[in-house]
Amino acid sequence: MNIVVWNEYRHEKINQDVARIYPEGIHNVIAEYLRKENMIVGTATLDEDEHGLTDELLDKTDVLIWWGHKAHDEVQDAIIEKVYQRVLNGMGLIVLHSGHFSKIFKKLMGTSCDLKWRQAGEMERLWVTNPSHPIAEGITEYIELEQEEMYGEFFDIPEPESIVFLSWFAGGEVFRSGCTYTRGKGKIFYFRPGHETYPTYHNGQIMKVIANAARWAYSPKGSKLIFGKTEPLNLY
């Protein structure tokens, strides 16, 4: 299983608070955890050539993990188109936190993906609402994060195939925080937590969810989908 963690990797370079939590970047913290789970993990970042997402890399990627925030617009449409085609052809995609506004997520959802938000360091509690879903494996009733950014409903997404987590926020909001989708042959998981100024990706439960999701989103590529003009199979 080949995983690639893509990170915008800008906050970490210019914001000391973020750099303190993720000195090597969010992508490397996630990659390291997944390697311990026996996955083969590469990374790619916005400021690399082709944002690091070369054909060579994408061709062998089973699951792509995406973290972006302030530079969604700088991601080239041509790269997004390549990622999009790969998802339809079976590459898994895990979209984290502010990736809800990434070009790739909006293109796959067909909605604005807009939401309410508040950056106030309040408590988030993620309740498991589909306890036997593979993504919730090993998670007990809920995950508690002492401090997170708030995301609140209405979250403008298509009705998820499954809602694995629902978040409670101290300030009074709720949020569909763990949502699964299929697009073409590709499996997609949106997972809410992970604001850059909090140590969310150092939380073992959060990382277990991401590892579970990577395993779930992986699918053997299988046979090629057949479209187009076709002869009748039965006489009439």
User: Which residues in 99-138 contact a second copy (CB under 8 A)?
Assistant: 107-112, 114-118, 120, 122-123, 125, 127-132, 134, 136-138
N- to C-terminal Cα distance for the chain?
46
Task: Confirm if 26 and 201 have CB atoms less than 8 A apart.
Answer: yes
Nearer to a second copy, 47 or 88 (CB): 88
Q: Take residue 164 and report the two structure tokens written for it.
A: 């694995």
By beta-carbon proximity to a second copy, the closer residue of 79 and 136 is 136
* Near a second copy in 140-159, by CB under 8 A: 140-141, 150, 152-156, 158-159
Buried b (16+ CB within 10 A) or exposed e, 186-202: bbbbbbbbbbbbbebbe
Nearer to a second copy, 48 or 161 (CB): 161
CB of 76 to a second copy, least distance (A): 18
* b/e 29-47 (16+ beta carbons within 10 angstroms → b): bbbebbeebebebebbbbe
Stretch that binds a second copy, among 24-32, 43-51, 71-79, 168-176 (CB under 8 A): 168-176
168 binds a second copy (CB under 8 A): yes
Nearer to a second copy, 12 or 124 (CB): 124
Q: Which amino acid is at 151?
A: Y
Which listed residue (42, 174, 203, 205) binds a second copy by CB under 8 A? 174
Nearer to a second copy by Cβ, of 28 and 177: the residue is: 177
- Which residues in 10-49 contact a second copy (CB under 8 A)? none
Nearer to a second copy, 42 or 152 (CB): 152
The length of the chain is 236
**Which residues lie closer than 8 Å to 188 by C-beta, 6 or more apart?**
87, 92, 93, 94, 95, 108, 180, 181, 182, 217
In angstroms, give the least distance from the CB of 168 to a second copy: 5
Nearer residue to a second copy within complex by CB, 69 or 176: 176
Question: What is the total count of residues that contact a second copy (CB under 8 A)?
Answer: 72
Site for a second copy in 180-219 (CB under 8 A): 181-187, 219
Question: What is the DSSP annotation of 150-178?
Answer: EEESPP--PPPSEEEEEEEETTS-EEEEE
Measured in degrees and rounded to the nearest 5, phi and psi for residue 11 equal: -50, -45
Residue 48 CB, shortest distance to a second copy, in Å, is: 26
Residue 111 to residue 54: CA distance in whole angstroms: 27
